[in-house]
Amino acid sequence: MVCGVMLNQLRLLLVVSSVFSLVSLSAIEGKAEEVSSGEAIASDPSTTPAAAVSESESAAVDSPVISVAAINNADSAAANPPATTVEEWRAQITQSRVTITNVRVEATAAVLQIVLETAGGELTLTATQTVGEALIAEIPNAVLDLPEGEPFEQFGPAEGIALVSVTNLPGDRVQISITGTEAVPQAQISAEAGSLVLSVVPGVATATDADDDAIQVVVTGEEAGSDYFVPNARSTLRTDVDIRDTPSSIQVIPQQLIEDQGATNVQEIVRNASGVNFERSAGGRNEFFIIRGFRAETFRNGFRDDRFSTRTETELANIDQVEVLRGPASILFGRAEPSGIINFVTKQPLREPFYEVEFTAGSFDFYRPTLDFSGPLTDDGSLAYRLNAAYESAGSFRDGIETERFFYRTHLILANR
């Protein structure tokens, strides 16, 4: 049984081998016929050279055509092969980047020309956009490399043009910004040999350009030398360095502000300092203040104020200015809370005669007369004095509450002149 099966398989293999042999012989005979026919054609004397040429042309039409452009592209690809490393890729980017070596702004009677000169290569300007009164355009794959090494800026190059600037942007980009005085300028772009020219015409303002709902922000400041401007806090910093040159957060409330406000107590003064709040008053005998969430220490002329011995509120009759130092001040004043300090600077004797009398009246039977006298006691002014006095009497919105205060202070100063 097994032998019969094996015999049948052997017969099948022989049949398949015979079939493949016949197919191979047929293919070989076909190739031989093609070769023989080709030799016959070549040896046929009736075939003329012209016919052979026409046949070759016909064959050329059916074959792929290699143009001059293809040859040039092949040469370029051979000269610039694809990058296989990061260094080669960066080198190719650097070679293709266009360098702007000079920027010229030329004003004519009709237009303003902005000329960007390059060291080689062509500049391509992308679509422009407007921001406010400025016309902005970007040049990709370019870098600005002027001899000065700075961005190009020219203010007021022509009537109707406020500013022309050319600056570098990240990613090998150059930005051109043309700002008009009243409206967005109009620009026409043209390319010349090794340069890019922008012909700019000032925009014309129309009624629709104005925004009636625009918000105007007006900032009012005080010039140096005004009564509200205090350059330093000598008593707090213990130096003549300007406040703007110190890293500390210091605010000075000057005498002129105290007078203009008509303040009669310290609670009204500290409102002018940001981050300072009045905490409480122990029965009208002293005050406590909060700075940055912690209780603040009070000082007088740079020395700690001993309010526990006086047990009175701070009198403003002889206060010249208030200096507020926010933040830790232990390096200057020793043990203190991290909030900061409030330093009251008193009035000093003057070398010139000064006499002032004031009277303040208000609701709940409030009245307060004060006097401030100062001047020299000697002819040369080496000895001077200052006298401050005040009296205050007031009722309250609550029945049975009355206030009566007396204050005076004299100050002498002796100095060599």
User: In CATH, what number is assigned to the domain containing residue 338?
Assistant: 2.170.130.10
pLDDT higher at 307 or 239: 239
My answer on whether 322 and 368 are in the same domain is no
What is the C-alpha separation between 235 and 344, in angstroms, rounded?
9
My answer on whether 341 and 383 are in the same domain is no
**Residue 372: pLDDT band with limits 50, 70, 90:** very high
pLDDT at 402: 85
My answer on whether 99 and 199 are in the same domain is yes
For the ranges 9-13, 211-215, 279-283, 324-328, the one whose mean pLDDT is highest: 324-328
- Give the domain-ending residue among 286, 313, 346: 346
- Is the per-residue pLDDT at 412 higher than 80? yes
Average pLDDT on 244-250 reads: 82
Q: Which two tokens stand for residue 385?
A: 């004095």
Residue 328 belongs to a domain: yes
Say how many domains are in the chain: 3
Residue 216 belongs to a domain: no
What is the C-alpha separation between 236 and 245, in angstroms, rounded?
14
Q: Over the stretch 135-190, which tens digit does the pLDDT of each residue have?
A: 888 888 888 888 877 888 888 888 888 889 999 888 888 888 998 888 888 888 88
Map tokens 């694809």 to a residue: 82
**Residue 298: pLDDT band with limits 50, 70, 90:** confident
Q: Residue 401 belongs to what domain range?
A: 354-414
My answer on whether 313 and 389 are in the same domain is no
- Give the domain-ending residue among 330, 346, 362: 346
Residue 25 belongs to a domain: no
Residue 51 belongs to a domain: no
DSSP notation for 201-225: E-----GGGS-TTPPP-------TT
128 CB-contact burial (10 Å; exposed 0-12 / middle 13-18 / buried 19+): middle
What is the C-alpha separation between 247 and 244, in angstroms, rounded?
8
With contact defined as beta carbons under 8 Å apart, do 81 and 94 qualify?
no
**Residue 43: pLDDT band with limits 50, 70, 90:** very low
Query: In three state form, how does the secondary structure of 129-181 look?
Result: EEECCEEEEEEECEEECCCCCCCEEEEEEECCEEEEEEEEECCCEEEEEEEEC
pLDDT at 411: 86
pLDDT at 118: 85
User: In CATH, what number is assigned to the domain containing residue 138?
Assistant: 2.60.40.3500
Residue 214 belongs to a domain: no
My answer on whether 339 and 397 are in the same domain is no
My answer on whether 116 and 146 are in the same domain is yes
My answer on whether 278 and 382 are in the same domain is no
Residue 87 belongs to a domain: no
My answer on whether 242 and 165 are in the same domain is no
Residue 76 belongs to a domain: no
My answer on whether 321 and 256 are in the same domain is yes
Average pLDDT on 194-222 reads: 70
- Give the domain-ending residue among 346, 362, 377: 346
Partnered with residue 295 across adjacent β-strands are: 290
Residue 218 belongs to a domain: no
Q: Which two tokens stand for residue 348?
A: 């000093």
My answer on whether 105 and 156 are in the same domain is yes
My answer on whether 380 and 304 are in the same domain is no
My answer on whether 295 and 381 are in the same domain is no
